[in-house]
Amino acid sequence: MAGYSMDLRERVVAAVKTDGLSRRAAAARFGVSYSAAIEWLKRVEETGSAAPRQVGGYNPKKLSGAWRDWLIERCHDRDFTLRGLVAELGERGLKVDYRSVWEFVHAEKLSHKKKTLIAVEQDRPDIARRRMQWTKYRGRIDPTRLVFIDETWTKTNMSPLSGWAPVGQRLKAKVPHGHWKTMTFLAALRRDRVDAPWLIDGPINGERFLLYVEKVLAPTLQPRDIVIMDNLGSHKGKAVRRAIRAAGARLFFLPKYSPDLNPIEQLFSKLKHWLRKPASRTVQTVCDAIGQILNRITSAECSHYFKNSGYDRN
């Protein structure tokens, strides 16, 4: 829509200043809005002209210079929310809107993510030193010799956590609330495959873990293999170490509170995600679902897990 002409603006102003009409009367005489007449008179008082303000042109960003430097440092210092940043900037004297902050964080290559929870104990000097030593030497070992062992739980009450539903309606799923089975899945991850999978009905303990090592894991081991597992109490039995050594392999324990150094955790994360889809309700169907998922795990995927955890020398 085109703006009002300068001739019309000047005639309205003259009607008020020269003819003595009120702003409302002048607006009615020339067929313009009352607010327009007020604005034009205000422009004359401020600038000496009823000409409109400049439209468009360069509008410098508020979040620049020292404000940009402060905001970058703030974003990297600790957790934040966009509305929280708007409030913090306002407290410091800079008024910005939500959209400006949103554009700023995206321009700085920051994105909203799910948090990865890390044990605060990793900051303890003894554990930090052990982790530093581990990460220093992990890339020097031939990854084809590494065998990572761990266990994870699965249940017969799992179901997908999200899906599609009509707008305004809840998405519901029926799962057992009173009776369900909890099982433990154990496996060994190599650079090119998943070995020695085993599903047991119930929780793990030292006796069951020893049985797994002797009957399931040991037959898959080769001389010079290096078996790596976490510091769980059930893993530390002397018989476990003897069974691994008898197969010609060596045993190492990860630093405490360091699941991030075990690449099999990535496999288990994917496994539990895909186990929700079939919503299995019996031990046998859970076992079958695990088998189908493992059959889809490729050697390239196993290699990626190793590389992502820092164990690939290539």
Give, for all 314 residues of the chain, the pLDDT tens digit.
Answer: 467 888 899 999 999 988 888 999 999 999 899 999 999 899 888 888 888 876 665 566 788 889 999 999 999 998 999 999 999 999 999 999 999 999 999 999 998 888 888 899 999 999 999 999 999 999 889 999 999 999 999 999 999 989 999 999 999 989 998 889 999 999 999 999 999 999 999 999 999 999 999 999 999 999 999 999 998 888 999 999 999 999 999 999 999 999 999 999 999 999 999 999 999 999 999 999 999 999 999 999 999 999 999 998 66
216/261 same-domain check: yes
Identify the burial level of 225 via C-beta atoms within 10 angstroms of its C-beta, where 0-12 means exposed, 13-18 middle and 19 or more buried.
buried
pLDDT of residue 55: 64
| Rounded-to-integer distance, Cα 265 and Cα 276, Å | 17
Residues 130, 275, single domain; the answer is: yes
Q: What is the pLDDT at residue 59? A: 60
Instruction: Count the Cβ atoms, other than its own, within 10 Å of residue 85.
Output: 21
Burial of residue 100 (number of CB atoms within 10 Å: 0-12, 13-18, 19+): middle
Q: What is the pLDDT of residue 57?
A: 59
What CA–CA distances, in Å, run from 177 to 119, 159, 201, 289? 30, 12, 19, 21
Q: What is the spatial distance between Cα 259 and Cα 110, in angstroms, rounded to a whole number?
A: 26
Kindly state whether residues 94 and 16 are assigned to the same domain: no
Number of domains the chain is built from = 3
User: Is 139 buried (19+), middle (13-18) or exposed (0-12) by CB count in 10 A?
Assistant: exposed
CB 274 within 8 A of CB 293: yes
Alpha carbon distance 108, 32 (integer Å): 46
pLDDT recorded at residue 1: 45
Radius of gyration of the chain (CA): 34
Are residues 101 and 239 located together in one domain of the fold?
no
| Position 173 in a domain | no
The domain of 20 spans 6-47
Stated pTM of the model: 0.73
d(CA 258, CA 64): 40
Looking at the structure, tell me whether residues 243 and 200 fall in a common domain: yes
Whether residue 187 sits in one domain with residue 91: no
Please tell me whether residues 264 and 136 are part of one structural domain. yes
d(CA 203, CA 66): 56
| Among the listed residues 16, 107, 25, 20, the one whose alpha carbon sits nearest the alpha carbon of residue 61 | 107
| Region for 166 from its dihedrals, namely left if φ exceeds 0, alpha if ψ lies in -120 to 50, beta otherwise | beta
Beta bridge partners of 22: none
The Cα 249–Cα 144 span in angstroms is 13
Based on the fold, state whether residues 287 and 224 are members of the same structural domain.
Answer: yes
Q: What is the DSSP letter of 202?
A: S
Structure-token match 């290699």, residue found? 303
